[in-house]
Amino acid sequence: MAAILKNETLPIKSSSDIVKVRQFAREWAVSLGFSLVEQTKVVTAASELARNVLDYGGSGKVELEVLQNELRQGLKLTFADQGPGIADLEQALKDGFTTGSGMGLGLGGAKRLANEFEIDSAPGRGTKVSITRWRNS
């Protein structure tokens, strides 16, 4: 079980908040000693998921956590909204599937860019997505 070393929650209410989420994710990834590619992956995944919160949930929040397990440290980001939720999770994770105007890469892409991915959603219950990226080596 990983210990939480640090955490902070940011609101996601407008597209400028997406920029802020990216900046925070970057700063935290840098302070954890992530390589440039790891930083870029986690920041890009954060951007996709923050946009999902805004586009599908209307608004929501993200919690950033620095985790420590037996071996290494990681960055966990949990995005939550109170939107309509997702009826078919399997379909939502498929590349190219979207109910919005985007390209349908957000969820599947974020999953590929992270080491761990969890999603919890049902119609009327909102959506919660967590990604964790562990530092290599």
Which residues of this protein are in contact with other proteins, per CB under 8 A? 15-16, 18-19, 22-23, 26, 36-37, 39-41, 43-44, 47-48, 51, 95, 102-103, 105-106, 108-109, 112-113
For other proteins, which is the closer residue by CB, 50 or 86? Answer: 50
The Cα–Cα gap between 62 and 51 comes to 11
As measured in angstroms, the least distance from the Cβ of 120 to other proteins is: 22
Q: Report the residue number, 61 or 111, with the smaller CB distance to other proteins.
A: 111
Q: Please state the closest distance from residue 38 (CB atom) to other proteins, in A.
A: 9
| CB 3 to other proteins: min, Å | 29
